[in-house]
Every structure is written in structure tokens, then in C-alpha cells.
């Protein structure tokens, strides 16, 4: 994994905790949350305050995420909002933390100037001993305060001030006045500088979880289902009727279609689709070449055609199907029928423009595992796990590609791949034949 770390593809953009003041604040917050402290004087933290170095020291990488639920967090700086979330157990956690920071930006900026803010993503589930318990994971509330309790003190001072104003004998209540003076010494003038964090809660109905081998729960859609790509036999009885795994691609495709969650890659972007598909072909080709023991030293994109000829017999069905689709787009050749049970089917899709687009692209990355770029962008946990099993040649090629062609323009790459992130204007819709408009570019999804 050192190659990934050295190129900023793993543990990248973490916040560096190096000053004694920040280390001291971190320790106060860590002790407040868990009763533990670190002896390190230099480490890095993610958006939640989790540090891989501290995890190694404590021999506990879930020291802020016990049982994988109700994730705790430590905020030392507003710079953490751009950091990734490591050891993710729920796909919604980073978005919740980022939204909380954005909605309370001014308050958190003031609070973290002199103390750490510690908190927790609270829900009613305290253990996930069975898969069925995940369905109780419905709403997440954010609770936070400084280690010195500044927010709590300000709230209490506000209550006392209200009592003082409304009680006709307030001027004569020495105990009340004394309490107000004591709290004001801690909080400052809350009338001019309010110390308050917005109470925030988030509905969590559609999400991915790392528990039980990885599961996608889609409850807030017209046709709910659970998708467990790694297998469903161990899940037991669940509250939803439909549960699919990777051995049922046709049923997963039908689920995506019925709920309007996915669309062909070239939908509205046909001029770019051929380039995207050709890059997917490159990754499929590299997988075949490295599996056959081929040498990739010094390989560039210009060498791909030569490699495809040399290893023609080793190329998989995905490569040939994607190549036929590129030819259809660019030359108007015969339309390739790629049904939902074809290995290339999920390589040809991207998420539709819905609130769950990121979750769907995450699922598609898992269903199209040879596309290393999409896996890295959409499902880093899976990427890191998969990366460990690759040959050195494939590791080197994928890292070089990500550094040269993704890191330099992340926004542009995402827009090209997914199409919904940044249009200043609606992309022009490319008309398709009536038959394709009715049944999709690769025929109707067959029912099993």
C-alpha cells in the first residue's frame, strides 16, 4: 500500500496535527469521548478526527467508532471538512459530518480557535448483531460540544438570562445573578457572540454499510430491495421481501430500471461516451494482460492496441462487448445486444440524476470490478481491499493512470464519467431510435 500512500491516493488530504496546542486539545477530546489519550506528538486525522497512527498506537482502529455504529468525532480545525473519512462503515457518514460543519461554520470556527469540538453521530442502534438490526438505522442526529462544555454552558446561560428578564424579582436573586456571572466568565457575551450549534438530524433510508460483507439498503424507493453483492445466504430473515446478490444480475438490473436509478453512460453525452468506454476497455485489457503474466513496463495508452492484438486470446467478454459498443457509437455499426446477464452490462451504466446517485455509482463500481478508476472514485474501501490482491504490474499501471489522468483534474473526470456534478447548462440530449428509447440500448430487462 506504500505506493498508494506515496502518490497521495491513500491517506491523502488528511489534517496534520503537529503543534503541542492541537495535540493537547485532541487528547482532551479523546479522553472526553473514550477515556484514552495518545503519546504521539505528530499525527494525521480525517474529517472525523480518526488517526491511523493513533489507531496503531492504541491497537484499536475503531477507537472513535465502537461496534461500527454511532461514530464519534473530534474537530480541531475547519480544514478537516475537506479530508476523507477513513474506515467508513456507512456511506452517509462523511456527508453528514460535512453538512454539519458547513451549517455551523462560523460557530465551529470560533469554538475550535480555543478548544476541540467533540461529538457523536447518534442513532437508536447501538449494535448490529444481526443484519435485521440495520433496518432500525433510520435517523442520525449530530450531538457536539467543546471539551469544556462551552455550548452547554451557553445554553444554560441563555436559560438563566431568560429567567432573569421574566422574573420580576430577578434583580434581587443573588444566587441567579452569581450563576450568570460564573457562566458568562466561561462563555463570554452570548448576546453579541452566540455560542450555539444547530441541532441537526438526517434521515438515513438508502445507504451502504460495510457490515455483514457489504450491503446496499434501498428503502426509500418505489420498489425497495437489499443488494448484497458478496452473497445473501448468511443474512437471515430481513424486513424487505427482495434481497439480491451478484449471482442475480438480471434482478439487480430490473431493480435499477424500475426505480429509475441508472442510465446508459452515453445518455445525453454520446460524444464523450466512446472515450469513457474505451478507458474502461483499457482497464479490462490490463486485467487480462497481467493475469496472463504480461509485462506492462513503460506501457502507454498508445500501446493498448498492440497489447490487445498480442493478448487477443486472453481478452474477456467484457472487452469485446465494450469494443462493439464503441464501434456502434462512433461508426454506426451494428447495435450490440448486451443483456443484463452479460458480464459487460454494468460497465455500460452510470447512476441517473437522483439524490442517490453516489450510492448507485458505488454499487455499479462493485458490479464492474475491473474498472479500477470507477472503483477508486466511488468505492475506496473496496478499491483498497481489491488492490491488495493485484499483481505488482497491475498495481503500478493503475496508480500511474490515477496520478496522471485523474488526480490532475478530478472535477473534470467526474463530470465526464457521471455527468450530473457540474453542468452550467443542461447537456444536449442525443436522440435515439424509437426501439432503443422504449427498451433501453441493450434490450428489455428479462424477468427471471
Confidence tier at 144 by pLDDT (50, 70, 90): confident
Closest CA to 285 of 306, 270, 268, 265: 306
What are the distances in angstroms from CA 201 to CA 120, 140, 142, 290, 358?
A: 12, 5, 6, 47, 20
Burial of 149 (0-12, 13-18, 19+ CB in 10 A): middle
CA 307/CA 302 separation, integer angstroms: 10
pLDDT tens digit sequence for 367-408 = 999 999 999 999 999 999 999 999 898 998 899 889 888 877
Q: Which residues, in sequence order, are CB contacts of 295 under 8 Å at separation 6+?
A: 393
Higher-confidence position of 130 and 164: 130
pLDDT of residue 128: 86
> What is d(CA 374, CA 228) in angstroms, rounded to the nearest whole number?
19
Q: What is the mean pLDDT of residues 418-437?
A: 40
Give the model's confidence band at 148: pLDDT under 50 very low, under 70 low, under 90 confident, else very high.
confident
Q: Is the per-residue pLDDT at 231 higher than 50?
A: yes
Read off the DSSP letter of residue 36.
-
Closest CA to 368 of 343, 399, 387: 343
- Cβ atoms 65, 71 nearer than 8 A: yes
Q: Which of 211, 205, 202 is nearest to 88 (CA)?
A: 211
pLDDT category, 156, cuts 50, 70, 90? low
Q: CA gyration radius for the chain?
A: 26
Which residues are CB-contacts of 273 (< 8 A; sequence separation ≥ 6)? Answer: 264, 265, 266, 329
**Mean per-residue pLDDT, 150-166:** 60
The answer to whether residue 163 scores a pLDDT higher than 80 is: no
Question: Who contacts 33 (Cβ-Cβ below 8 Å, separation ≥6)?
Answer: 64, 72, 74, 118, 120
Using the CB atoms, write b or e for 69-107: b if 16+ within 10 Å.
bbbbbbbbbbebbebebbbbbbbbbbebbbebbeebeeb
Q: Where are the alpha helices (DSSP H) in 333-406?
A: 357-367, 372-378, 380-387, 392-401
Q: 285, exposed or middle or buried, with CB in 10 Å at 0-12, 13-18, 19+?
A: buried
Q: What is the pLDDT of residue 361?
A: 95
Amino acid at each position: 500500500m506504500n505506493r498508494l500512500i506515496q502518490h497521495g491516493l491513500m491517506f491523502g488530504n488528511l489534517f496534520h496535527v503537529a503543534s503541542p496546542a492541537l495535540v493537547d486539545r485532541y487528547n482532551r477530546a479523546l479522553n472526553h469521548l473514550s477515556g484514552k489519550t495518545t503519546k504521539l506528538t505528530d499525527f494525521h486525522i480525517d474529517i472525523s478526527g480518526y488517526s491511523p497512527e493513533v489507531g496503531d498506537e492504541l491497537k484499536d482502529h475503531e477507537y472513535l467508532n465502537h461496534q461500527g455504529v454511532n461514530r464519534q468525532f473530534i474537530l480541531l480545525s475547519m480544514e478537516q471538512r475537506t479530508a476523507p473519512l477513513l474506515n467508513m462503515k456507512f456511506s452517509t457518514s462523511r456527508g453528514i459530518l460535512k453538512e454539519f460543519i458547513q451549517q455551523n461554520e462560523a460557530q465551529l470556527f470560533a469554538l475550535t480557535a480555543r478548544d476541540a469540538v467533540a461529538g457523536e453521530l447518534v442513532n437508536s442502534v447501538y449494535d448490529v448483531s444481526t443484519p435485521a438490526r440495520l433496518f432500525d438505522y433510520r435517523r442520525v442526529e449530530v450531538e457536539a460540544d467543546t471539551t469544556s462544555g462551552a455550548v452547554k454552558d451557553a445554553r444554560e446561560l441563555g436559560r438563566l438570562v431568560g429567567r432573569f428578564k421574566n422574573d420580576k424579582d430577578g434583580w434581587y436573586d443573588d444566587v441567579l445573578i452569581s450563576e450568570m456571572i460564573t457562566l458568562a466568565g466561561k462563555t463570554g457575551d452570548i448576546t453579541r457572540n452566540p455560542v450555539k450549534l444547530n441541532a441537526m438530524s438526517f434521515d438515513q433510508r438508502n445507504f451502504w454499510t460495510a457490515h455483514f460483507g457489504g450491503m446496499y439498503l434501498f428503502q426509500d424507493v418505489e420498489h425497495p430491495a437489499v443488494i448484497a453483492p458478496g452473497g445473501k445466504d448468511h443474512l437471515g430473515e430481513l424486513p424487505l421481501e427482495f434481497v439480491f446478490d451478484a449471482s442475480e444480475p438480471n434482478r439487480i438490473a430490473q431493480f435499477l430500471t424500475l426505480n429509475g436509478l441508472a442510465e446508459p453512460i452515453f445518455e445525453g453525452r454520446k460524444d464523450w461516451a466512446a472515450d469513457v468506454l474505451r478507458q474502461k476497455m483499457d482497464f479490462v485489457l490490463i486485467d487480462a494482460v497481467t493475469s496472463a503474466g504480461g509485462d506492462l513496463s513503460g506501457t502507454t495508452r498508445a500501446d493498448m492496441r498492440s497489447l490487445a492484438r498480442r493478448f487477443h486470446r486472453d481478452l474477456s467478454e467484457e472487452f469485446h462487448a465494450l469494443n462493439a459498443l464503441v464501434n456502434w457509437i462512433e461508426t454506426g455499426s451494428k447495435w450490440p445486444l448486451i443483456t443484463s446477464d452479460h458480464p459487460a452490462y454494468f460497465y455500460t451504466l452510470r447512476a441517473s440524476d437522483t439524490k442517490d446517485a453516489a450510492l448507485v455509482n458505488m454499487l455499479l463500481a462493485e458490479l464492474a470490478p475491473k474498472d479500477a478508476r470507477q472503483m477508486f472514485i466511488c468505492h475506496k474501501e473496496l478499491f483498497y481491499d481489491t488492490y491488495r490482491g493485484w499483481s505488482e504490474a497491475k498495481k503500478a499501471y493503475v496508480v500511474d493512470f490515477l496520478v496522471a489522468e485523474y488526480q490532475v483534474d478530478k472535477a473534470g473526470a467526474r463530470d465526464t464519467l457521471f455527468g450530473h456534478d457540474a453542468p452550467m447548462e443542461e447537456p444536449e440530449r442525443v436522440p435515439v431510435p424509437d426501439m432503443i428509447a422504449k427498451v433501453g440500448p441493450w434490450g428489455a430487462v428479462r424477468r427471471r
